[in-house]
Amino acid sequence: MQIGSFGDVIFRVEEENILTIKAMSREKKSRWEEAQILNDLSFLEFRGRDLTTISLDIQLIETSKMKIVDTLNTLNNMLENGENHELILGNTLIGEFPFVLESMSEKFEKHQEQFQHVELSITLKEYRDNQKSLKQIREERNKKQNTEQIPEGVVMAEQTEVNRNA
């Protein structure tokens, strides 16, 4: 059963393929600037939100269908090449933007003279590649979604009109 994905890395739990998320944490922060006023209390000014960071603890178990080294190579290439990908968990797209792999740590466990089990901790950071404001990006996204979707009332009115003419 597939539980999610990050680029070419598919999180799943099956009898012959185990690459699963053990834990996830997400950090969201806003930016504030403290304005100092001479002989008076300072005040805070909101400067926007920071990029979201997600940490995943992942368990890889080597099976005949899944080689740990392949997954580690894929993740390592993402890290070294600065690739950005969407993070999907369940059927839900996480975040407003894709993520980059910011860091990765590995803990290997040896069984019968070979490594068959790896615990990974990866940190993903939201990736935004344009200078438009977040407000502009959201408005454009909403406008695009509204033009692609025909409101139900319009569809019903068109069907009624077709039935009258028939």
The pLDDT confidence band at residue 154, using thresholds 50, 70 and 90, is very low
d(CA 21, CA 120): 9
Rg value, the chain, Cα: 23
How high is the pLDDT of residue 16?
64
* pTM metric for this prediction: 0.73
Q: Give the dihedral of Cα atoms 108, 110, 115, 116; nearest 10 deg.
A: -100
Q: Coil, strand, or helix at residue 75?
A: helix
**Would you say residue 10 has pLDDT above 60?**
yes
How high is the pLDDT of residue 166?
46
In tens, the pLDDT along 92-104 reads: 889 888 999 999 9
What one-letter code names the amino acid at 49? R
Place of tokens 């979604």: 145
- Exposure string of 140-166, with b = 16+ CB inside 10 Å and e = fewer, is eeeeeeeeeeeeeeeeeeeeeeeeeee
Q: Average of pLDDT values for 97-115?
A: 83
In tens, the pLDDT along 127-150 reads: 988 777 778 888 887 887 776 554
In tens, the pLDDT along 28-57 reads: 999 999 999 999 999 999 998 899 999 999
